[in-house]
């Protein structure tokens, strides 16, 4: 995989008549992990949705560039075909569409010139991937996320990630609803993906649990639609010990 870069440049985003993001600037590079922390309502999920072109999130100023090219005029599926991936905060179920068919179709959309993998061979490969995150093979023939718990749905997002091998992945609260063992499995899958395929990550979270396992190259602190501070992995520990209020006050002083 070639080196890729996603640049968020002075991004202003509004929803209906309210501006939510007020000039966010950050960079995500392949082979590296960035974390973004902040309280509920700080703008983290708005940033993720704006990156993927959600129609309700209107960019009023700034730019989003992938490998130097603005993607603001691209549709969501065009952005995905470029190599971007979004792991949803609350993954929905898609009844009647099996995980196997969903992923084979997604691969064909991303690589239209490549022949579709043999279904039996693909099933075998998917079964191996499911095992790495603690899911059994029944998920292959189920509807996507059908009858799955919150934690299983988050693991299902990782399976999509592992199969599609995006250049840049934004994971929105992938750690929510996970027990200790599941959290470790998710963190390990992220690290393996980074090392094996060079995927770059933006991990959006409230807590330092996931970040303590993945050791991001940089962590951003978001408050009221702005990046107010950044640092290394130690920033997550500092936030854990001080809390958001105290650290935000320190940065404002």
Q: Has residue 219 got a pLDDT over 90?
A: yes
Over residues 99-127, the pLDDT tens digits come to 888 888 888 888 877 777 788 888 888 99
What local confidence, expressed as pLDDT, does residue 169 receive? Answer: 96
Higher pLDDT, 174 or 33: 33
Q: Are 91 and 156 in contact (CB under 8 A)?
A: yes
Nearest 10 degrees: Cα torsion 10, 29, 91, 42: -30
47 or 155, higher pLDDT: 47
pLDDT category at 140 given cuts 50, 70, 90 is confident
Query: What pLDDT is recorded for position 208?
Result: 87
Predicted local confidence at residue 43, as pLDDT: 94
Q: Is pLDDT above 60 for 12?
A: yes
Best-predicted range by mean pLDDT among 108-117, 123-132, 183-192, 193-202? 193-202
Q: What is the pLDDT of residue 181?
A: 86
Q: What is the pLDDT of residue 14?
A: 97
The pLDDT mean for the chain works out to: 90
**Hey, what domains does the chain have and what are their CATH numbers?**
5-252 (3.40.50.300)
Quote the pLDDT of residue 54: 94
pLDDT per position as a tens digit, 72-105: 999 999 999 999 999 887 788 888 888 888 888 8
pLDDT of residue 154: 86
Amino acid 2: pLDDT: 67
Stretch among 44-53, 61-70, 122-131 having the lowest mean pLDDT: 122-131
What does the pLDDT read at residue 24? 97
């Amino acid at each position: 995989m070639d080196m890729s870069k996603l640049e968020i440049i002075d991004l202003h985003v509004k929803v209906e008549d309210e501006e939510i993001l007020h000039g966010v600037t950050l960079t995500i590079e392949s082979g590296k992990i960035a974390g973004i922390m902040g309280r509920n309502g700080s703008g983290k999920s708005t940033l993720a949705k704006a990156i993927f072109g959600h129609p309700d999130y209107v960019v009023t100023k700034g730019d989003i560039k992938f490998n130097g090219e603005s993607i603001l005029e691209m549709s969501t599926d065009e952005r995905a075909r470029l190599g971007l991936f979004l792991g949803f905060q609350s993954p929905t179920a898609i009844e009647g569409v099996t995980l196997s068919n969903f992923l084979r179709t997604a691969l064909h959309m991303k690589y239209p010139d490549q022949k579709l993998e043999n279904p039996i061979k693909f099933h075998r490969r998917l079964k191996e991937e499911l095992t790495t995150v603690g899911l059994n093979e029944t998920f292959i023939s189920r509807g996507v996320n059908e009858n799955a718990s919150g934690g299983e749905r988050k693991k299902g997002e990782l399976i999509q990630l592992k199969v599609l091998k995006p250049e840049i992945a934004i994971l929105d609260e992938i750690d929510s609803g996970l027990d200790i063992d599941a959290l470790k499995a998710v963190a390990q899958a992220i690290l393996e993906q980074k090392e094996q395929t060079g995927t770059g990550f933006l991990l959006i979270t409230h807590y330092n649990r996931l970040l303590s396992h993945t050791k991001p190259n940089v962590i951003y602190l978001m408050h009221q639609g702005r990046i107010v501070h950044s640092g290394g992995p130690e920033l997550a520990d500092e936030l854990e010990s001080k809390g958001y209020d105290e650290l935000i006050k320190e940065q404002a002083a």
